[in-house]
Structure 1
Amino acid sequence: MPDLFENDRNYVLGDPELKTIGDRAKLAQWRHKMKGPAFYKLGRKVVYRGSDLNAWAEAQRIDPARQGQR
């Protein structure tokens, strides 16, 4: 699957592309619980790198054909 996000781009809260993985409240919950994609906290601004978002999305991938195989 091609990348969902541009690897060399930074995303900030309010960017519509972030809604692909969750709304603003969900992202805030994940940050508080230290879950979800990696992020930078720069003062009050939260920044996500596209490469981190793609890595996190790939880690969430489930392949039903491989379930039960070990």
Structure 2
Amino acid sequence: MPNIFDNDRSYLLGDPELDILGDREKLAQWRHKNLGPPYYKLGRKVIYRGFDLNAWAEANRVDPSKGGDH
């Protein structure tokens, strides 16, 4: 699968590329509920690594030919 995100890049909240996952509020809800992709919390900054985002996206891939679930 081609990567959705650049594996060698770090993404900060507010980067438009993260909009594909959801808005800031959705990402905050996931972090609060320990859902969503892995992230780093450095002070008040939240940082997502491209490699982690791609791995999380692949783990959540749905293949309808296999019954619709993972």
TM-score interval (norm. to shorter): over 0.9
Please tell me the root mean square deviation across aligned C-alpha atoms, in Å: 1.1
Alignment TM-score, normalising by the size of structure 1:
0.93
Structure 2 residue ranges without an equivalent (≥5): none
* Consecutive aligned runs of 4 or more in structure 1 exceeding 3 Å deviation: none
Residue matched to 2:48: 48
- Kindly tell me the number of residue pairs found equivalent between the two proteins: 68
Any idea what SS the aligned residue of 1:26 has? helix
Residues in 1 aligned to 2:21 and 2:4: alpha-carbon distance in whole angstroms: 10
Identity of aligned residues (%): 71
Structure 1 gap segments, 5+ residues each: none
Q: TM-score, with normalisation over the residues of structure 2?
A: 0.93
Larger radius of gyration: 1
